Structure 1
Amino acid sequence: MKSLDPTLTLSWRKLKKHFLKMKNMHLKDLFKKDIYRFQKFSLNMKNVMLIDYSKNRITEKTLLYLLDLAKEFDLEGSIRSLFQGKYINVTENKPVLHTALRNFNKTEIFVKHENISIKINEVLLKIKNFSSQIIKKKWTGYTGKYIKSIVNIGIGGSHLGPEMVIESLTPYKNHLNIYFISNLDGSNVTEVLKKINFESTIFLISSKTFTTEETITNAKTVKNLFLQQPNVLLSDISKHFFAISMNKKEVIKFGIHKENFFPLWDWVGGRYSLWSSMGLSIALSVGYENFSLLLQGAHDMDNHFLNTPLEKNIPVLLGLISIWYSNFFCAETEGIFVYDQYMHVFSRYLQQAYMESNGKRVDRNKNIVSWQTGAIIWGEPGTNGQHSFYQLLHQGTKLVPSDFIIPIKTHNQIGDHHIKLLSHFFAQTRALAFGKSLKELLNQKKDIQINKKKINTDFLIYQECPGNQPTNSFLLDEITPYTLGNLIALYEHKIFTQGVILNIYSFDQWGVELGKEVAKDILSTLKMNSLCNSYDSSTNALINFYKKS
């Protein structure tokens, strides 16, 4: 990877000058000037999705300069390094190979002279065989009852990815009930355990290191409660507890049988791990065949990202456009709005993927950056958002570039629900782009004037919507395992593109560690009987208030 200060590149300087011409340009004018705008700024990935990025405040020249920026950073070389397993996670001295987990090209990939494709296929086979046993009711618990419920105990990538996929693929779910325990708050454990029967439940302890405090605390609580059940023997743990981790030593120490261990590798980042054995809960929920289709969809997007020229490469183009907004228009957030109820967790999942990856302040040259890196990601499903925060999008003071996602076909064709949902989807991106001016409002009032009564225009300004809010539209054929895999991989590669050009390391997350370290220290303080005076006045006062209560 090239380590450049992006603001000192020739293309960045050109973008800076170009921005002065573009900053007051309205989408209305851009569309009026070019009747072929949609054809130029859209991409139809046949049988998967149509992506329309024409409602962005860009021109062909904008993209030309942005693509020049990508070339100055040798983005294509960085993409090859990703897929070849080069050690691009420099601060942790690791390759980044989540793409290898869905490698249907059957190419050999080596890490430390070891062909990792062999290990990946072994784990996939283990997932296939185990999920088949559970789904076909061939695995029984300690009383002989077949398994009805799965509880995944994990946090971060060990939870968000699998939960998002399972929720999104609800129409494909089988008879098994899937629950997630992630929060350290004991209420999470309590409420999940109310819904299950220990006799017919298996527990997946999902932790890459098997030392994550939240996960191990929850797992120990569940294990202790399991052992308190009537007639349970210590050996019965092997029928109910399974581990997904790279730390086999800690797994066995916990009491989990070695045959119940599903390996993970250090070249798989937590937020990119749903494609690995972390996806075991997905395979259990929707079946291995659908899990495989999820991988296939991601693999095909991998091929697009690796082999498509930059000017037609959708993750690259979307990543560049995001940099355009954050660094020239000073946009601080990006909205992800999915018009599909099953995908209600999607925005939350992308929060981690984006913000843990690119929420960095030090560049690859060890310098504090002077440019904007990761955006704040947020969103809600469909029309729910229209009745809460869309007011700010239409009439607020913030620029919020947004992605709108909808399936053309619904899994639940009830009356005219879906066509109405589609009408709102199309309407919102149009309204955000073009708005409604005072002149249009006045003309509208004149059109409905009755008996030539005087029109009160005093408050029309409160109805004006300036528009010019940029959006991307994603029209998926249908939410299937394949199309979902394709969409997730698209966002993964968009994030990678941004990280390369913003000159940061996207695959570590050192900032997550500080809070954990401080919490360990404070925990020991909380367990002491004496009042606290070892921290700042605020923290001391808060701790002492707790101790006196």
Structure 2
Amino acid sequence: MSLRCDHTPQWPQLQAAFSAQGRALDLRQAFAQDHQRFAHFSQSAPHVFADLSKNLWDRSTEALLLDMAQATGLAQHRDAMLGGQPINSTEGRAVLHTLLRRPAGLSLPGDSSSLAGHLADVHATLDAMLAYADTVRADDAITDIVNIGIGGSDLGPHMAVLALEQFRAHGKRLHFVSNVDGHELYTALQSLRPQNTLFLIASKTFTTAETMTNAASALAWFEQQGGRDVGRHFAALTTNVEAARALGITTTFGFWDWVGGRYSLWSAIGLPVAIAIGSAGFRDLLAGAHAMDEHFRTAPFAQNLPVRLGLLDVWYRNFHGFTSRCIAPYHAALRRLPAYLQQLEMESNGKRVARDGTPLALATSPVLWGEPGTNGQHAFFQMLHQGTDVLPLELIAVRQATHPLKGHHEKLLANALAQAQALMVGKEGEDGHRHFPGNRPSTFLLLDALTPASLGALIALQEHRVFVSGSLWGINSFDQWGVELGKVLAKDIEARLASGDAAGLDGSTAGLLGRLRSGA
């Protein structure tokens, strides 16, 4: 039976350590006193080097956190997930996104009896999906691919396609439509011709309101513009094959109920990525993620990067009381990574009850936010350096440039290093306006190059980090009931917008409804 982190013997010890020294830890003094601090708090993992040394912890704190992780049964919980046990307790499902990137035929210790069959199904679907992707890539008549999805059916593929732009096929433009706001779809359609466009409708159930509204409008536009052969120009990424065929869509690629939306990039939902970078590139993406899976599965906790990051997140959230984490990728191709990580962490761990449904007595997910460097430096870094709140920063940099322009990449990397340095060391100012307090924490993640494999590893690292903190907090990181209520109420209000019926509504909603209908 797992033990929640605040019920372990190490929790009061951590509280005492924080009161005695953690609150007052000065990073500048910590480096002066420990010349091996960088060596201890940095490490390599598959495709990712991490420097955790500029964070507000010391070796004794980390040791207590590692002991706490062992006491919670984190290793057993991890193995249960990887082995296919139904750890998504509220839905009675396994959590097997890692199986989507496991090599064919590979069995691991602890696998459930059904995993071999699931893995065979995964690779049969993967082979078919990648063959289709390569066919689209070779079809010169298809110049534009429009992915229609939302949440995990949009954020992951969109982020990855932008990140791997240098690997994209020439002559193929990819568009992503997610919002039910018709402005987004209408704008995309203005530059398209039906005979040259392929629409990908991404919805597991084929009932998602935003996606199906956009899909219906795309089909209507296709027919109005003289488009022919829906079967050639539309494909569906769904398990609801019958619903897709009812719309004339005959090409479908499915996935399974043990794949959560925010973890579905590795499944058929990744089709736009496969079209962009090709089947070999997509397999490299999966291989990079699998390498990080194996690191998470086998590395001792003290050298396990997802575990160390997850423990740091708990230390900051529950002891320092930090409510947010800023993500600053110092590479323009990673500009959608903060948005992707927002869903990954906040939808997974934005929970107020434990796995048994009882209210928690401790805080869970921080708020994630950010923009690429150096843009963020000219927007919100003022607050990071001199604001009243301490906001941990996570910088992500890439050693090799993805362009030939001289001087740019050196300046970019210099800025990334300088910002982390400035946050830590600060500066004594002539007056309060020019004073930088310093001692502000940051984590530095470094990729050697931005490739399909390194991106896969980086994403898997973040997935497992979220698992670690959620496991320690004793929550179910794999359901998302919080998104349901608003959807239900929206259906009711949509009907009321047409009828004007405000009976039973609260005063604010009734007033706004009337305002919208009157046009005043």
The bucket for the TM-score relative to the shorter chain is over 0.9
Match of 2:204 in 1: 208
Letter of the 1:284 partner, please give it. I
* TM-fit CA distance, 1:66: 0.5
How do residues 108-187 of structure 1 correspond to structure 2 at under 5 angstroms? Answer: 108=107, 115-137=117-139, 146-175=141-170, 176-187=172-183
* TM-fit CA distance, 1:425: 0.8
SS at match of 2:266: coil
CA contact under 8 A between 1:531 and 1:547: conserved in structure 2?
A: no
Letter of the 1:322 partner, please give it. D
CA contact under 8 A between 1:334 and 1:375: conserved in structure 2?
A: yes
* TM-fit CA distance, 1:136: 1.3
Matched residues in 1 for 2:104 and 2:189: separation? 42
Matched residues in 2 for 1:253 and 1:211: separation? 13
Matched residues in 1 for 2:134 and 2:104: separation? 25
SS at match of 2:404: coil
> C-alpha offsets along residues 476-501 of structure 1, whole Å, 9 cap, x if unaligned?
10101110000000000000001100
* TM-fit CA distance, 1:533: 3.1
Match for residue 460 of structure 2 among 489, 509, 524: 489
**Sequence identity (%):** 40
CA contact under 8 A between 1:244 and 1:278: conserved in structure 2?
A: yes
* TM-fit CA distance, 1:413: 3.0
Matched residues in 2 for 1:113 and 1:340: separation? 38
SS at match of 1:362: coil
Match of 2:397 in 1: 406
Aligned length: 514
Letter of the 1:372 partner, please give it. A
Name stretches of at least 5 consecutive residues in structure 1 with no aligned partner: 139-145, 442-456
Structure 1 residues 113 and 52, CA gap change in structure 2 (3 angstroms): closer
Root mean square deviation, CA, Å: 1.4
Matched residues in 1 for 2:113 and 2:442: separation? 40
CA contact under 8 A between 1:531 and 1:544: conserved in structure 2?
A: no
SS at match of 1:91: coil
Matched residues in 2 for 1:434 and 1:8: separation? 36
Letter of the 1:132 partner, please give it. D
Matched residues in 2 for 1:279 and 1:184: separation? 21
Structure 1 residues 89 and 53, CA gap change in structure 2 (3 angstroms): same
Match of 1:540 in 2: 510
Match for residue 268 of structure 2 among 262, 277, 282: 277
Letter of the 1:36 partner, please give it. Q
* TM-fit CA distance, 1:69: 1.2
Match of 2:93 in 1: 94
Structure 1 residue 199 corresponds to structure 2 residue 195: yes
Matched residues in 2 for 1:547 and 1:304: separation? 57
* TM-fit CA distance, 1:8: 2.7
Match of 2:346 in 1: 355
Match for residue 335 of structure 1 among 323, 326, 329: 326
SS at match of 1:179: strand
Match of 1:239 in 2: 232
Structure 1 residues 100 and 504, CA gap change in structure 2 (3 angstroms): same
Larger gyration radius, structure 1 or structure 2: 1
* TM-fit CA distance, 1:320: 0.2
Structure 1 residue 67 corresponds to structure 2 residue 66: yes
Structure 1 residue 303 corresponds to structure 2 residue 313: no
CA contact under 8 A between 1:169 and 1:479: conserved in structure 2?
A: yes
Letter of the 2:84 partner, please give it. G
Structure 1 residue 424 corresponds to structure 2 residue 415: yes
Matched residues in 2 for 1:401 and 1:322: separation? 10
Letter of the 2:33 partner, please give it. K
Structure 1 residues 58 and 31, CA gap change in structure 2 (3 angstroms): same
Match for residue 218 of structure 1 among 191, 214, 224: 214
SS at match of 1:415: coil
SS at match of 1:183: coil
Name stretches of at least 5 consecutive residues in structure 2 with no aligned partner: none
* TM-fit CA distance, 1:319: 0.5
Letter of the 2:481 partner, please give it. W
* TM-fit CA distance, 1:114: 7.0
CA contact under 8 A between 1:294 and 1:483: conserved in structure 2?
A: yes
Match of 2:84 in 1: 85
